[in-house]
């Protein structure tokens, strides 16, 4: 145990003593009954002579080592997604290099699962942007990833949201891209709470009307869709779409508020997982999925229940800044030596937020070395003038 001084939600300083971390299996004891991807973060290089707001300097060794950690726990890696700060500091050129390195590392790791994000982020929304421009941009990224023998997660497109004038434009784009992909892809419906530029995706501000559009796209290309990740932070909407999916098409929950319930499922089905929070809680996620595979539903919920308050805190509004909490967890747990982020995003959350994250991680038993975590928390406190 370690004792340190932390600010409360009202800014008042008080002592806090860490508890005992939980022990989780270092390897899965049996195959999971759910496919589970962790959207993985990137580790910045704090010693690079680069302007953080303009250039993405990556510590490649630490970044790939973290992916090996996830694979060792039985989790797949959803590469170059929003958790890796795609569109918030990580550009397409660096993303492709990340994908290449991740796929190369996966070849040396038996059973490693990797799907990679293909989008249009090298195409900047601008006056005169056309749907044809969006199609060409998607084609460029899909081709580049497939040339590396990568599997595709078809990311939502800010450029498409800017250029589209009706649901028909979305149908046209997805029809074109899905007709060309070599292997079934995972679609990604990222809600506006994660990225305000995606407001009105699928041609409707109303999510239920948008759901009709995406359901029709999937039905028309069921042989080309492995599944869909839906990130709306609304379990009822996810379940509604899940029940409309054609046989063989998976629902990958992206609901970082209600993932335990959605993965467990109900009498009509369940969700698999593609979650940013699984980066931060990877050992607990793996252990819980192991209990589920052993038909121990109570054990599954017992492990995940304490992680939900932590996840809801990390993903609180403005949700797009959740990456800061994910990287902070990696720093506290010794997976990287610093709390520096691509794009300078370590500044996106307050000290009060980070202190509460520390408490909630401790309550979930997720600070694997409390003395190390406390020492690192003290460094962050000192930077903010708290000694």
For the stretch 277-286, pLDDT in tens is 999 999 999 9
Which distant-in-sequence residues (6+ apart) come within 8 Å of 308 by Cβ?
257, 259, 260
Q: What is the pLDDT of residues 281-329, one digit of tens each?
A: 999 999 999 999 999 999 999 999 999 999 999 999 999 999 999 999 9
The DSSP-derived string for 217-279 is HHHHTGGGEEEEEEESS-HHHHHHHHTTSPTTPEEEE--TTTHHHHHH-BTTB--EEEESHHH
Average predicted confidence (pLDDT) for the chain: 96
Query: What was the pLDDT predicted at 373?
Result: 98
* Tally of structural domains, the chain: 1
Task: Let me know if residue 118 belongs to a domain.
Answer: yes
Task: Let me know if residue 28 belongs to a domain.
Answer: no
Enter the tokens of residue 286: 């793996």
Domain span at residue 292 reads 33-346
Query: Mean pLDDT across the stretch 12-22?
Result: 96
Q: CATH no. for residue 180? A: 3.20.20.70
Give yes or no for a contact between 16 and 3, defined as CB atoms under 8 angstroms apart.
yes
Give how far Cα 52 sits from Cα of 46, 348, 368, Å.
Answer: 9, 13, 30
Confidence of residue 248 (pLDDT cuts 50, 70, 90): very high
Confidence of residue 22 (pLDDT cuts 50, 70, 90): very high
Enter the tokens of residue 192: 């506006």
Query: What was the pLDDT predicted at 124?
Result: 81
Task: Let me know if residue 315 belongs to a domain.
Answer: yes
**What is the distance in angstroms between the CA of the first residue and the CA of the last residue of the chain?**
19
Residue 114 scores a pLDDT above 90: yes
Enter the tokens of residue 352: 């009060």
Task: Let me know if residue 359 belongs to a domain.
Answer: no
The DSSP-derived string for 102-148 is HHHHHHTSTT--EEEEE--TTS---TT--HHHHHHHHHHHHHHHHTT
Q: What percent of the chain has pLDDT over 90?
A: 96
Residue 126 scores a pLDDT above 90: no
Q: What is the pLDDT of residues 367-382, one digit of tens each?
A: 999 999 999 999 999 9
Query: What was the pLDDT predicted at 127?
Result: 86
Task: Let me know if residue 55 belongs to a domain.
Answer: yes
Give how far Cα 206 sits from Cα of 161, 211, 258, Å.
Answer: 14, 9, 21
Give the number of other CB atoms < 10 A from CB of residue 351. 16
The pTM of the full predicted model, rounded to 2 decimals, is: 0.96
Task: Let me know if residue 311 belongs to a domain.
Answer: yes
Confidence of residue 1 (pLDDT cuts 50, 70, 90): confident
> In a 3-state reduction of DSSP, which class is residue 38?
strand
Task: Let me know if residue 335 belongs to a domain.
Answer: yes
Enter the tokens of residue 220: 């028309």
> In a 3-state reduction of DSSP, which class is residue 65?
helix
Q: What is the pLDDT of residues 338-360, one digit of tens each?
A: 999 999 999 999 999 999 999 99
């Amino acid at each position: 145990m370690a004792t340190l001084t932390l600010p409360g939600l009202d800014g008042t300083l008080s002592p806090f003593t860490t508890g005992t971390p939980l022990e989780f299996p270092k390897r899965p004891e049996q195959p999971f009954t759910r496919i589970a991807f962790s959207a993985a973060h990137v580790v910045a290089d704090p010693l690079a002579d680069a302007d953080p707001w303009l250039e993405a300097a990556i510590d490649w060794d630490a970044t790939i080592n973290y992916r090996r950690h996830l694979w060792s726990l039985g989790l797949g890696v959803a590469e170059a997604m929003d958790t890796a700060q795609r569109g918030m500091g990580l550009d397409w050129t660096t993303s492709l290099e990340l994908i290449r390195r991740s796929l190369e590392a996966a070849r040396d790791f038996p059973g490693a699962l990797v799907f990679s994000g293909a989008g249009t982020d090298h195409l900047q929304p601008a006056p005169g942007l056309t749907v044809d421009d969006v199609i060409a941009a998607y084609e460029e990224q899909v081709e580049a990833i497939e040339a590396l023998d990568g599997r595709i997660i078809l990311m939502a497109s800010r450029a498409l949201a800017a250029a589209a004038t009706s649901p028909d434009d979305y149908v046209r784009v997805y029809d074109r891209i899905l007709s060309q992909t070599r292997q079934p892809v995972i679609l990604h419906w990222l809600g506006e709470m994660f990225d305000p530029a995606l407001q009105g995706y699928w041609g409707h501000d109303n999510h239920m009307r948008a759901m009709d559009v995406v359901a029709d796209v999937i039905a028309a290309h069921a042989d080309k869709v492995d599944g869909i990740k839906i990130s709306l932070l609304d379990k009822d909407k996810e379940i509604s779409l899940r029940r409309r999916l054609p046989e063989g098409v998976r629902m990958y929950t992206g609901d970082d508020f209600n993932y335990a319930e959605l993965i467990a499922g109900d009498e009509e089905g369940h969700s698999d997982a593609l979650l940013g929070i699984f980066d931060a809680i990877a050992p607990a996620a793996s252990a819980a999925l192991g209990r589920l595979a052993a038909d121990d539903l109570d054990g599954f919920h017992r492990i995940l229940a304490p992680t939900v308050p932590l996840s809801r805190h990390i993903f609180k509004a403005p949700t797009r800044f959740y990456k800061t909490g994910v990287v902070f967890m990696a720093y506290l747990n010794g997976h990287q030596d610093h709390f520096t982020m691509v794009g300078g995003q370590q500044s996106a959350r307050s000290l009060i937020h980070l202190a509460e994250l520390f408490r909630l991680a401790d309550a979930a038993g997720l600070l694997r070395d409390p003395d190390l975590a406390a020492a690192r928390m003290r460094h962050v406190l000192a930077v903010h003038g708290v000694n």
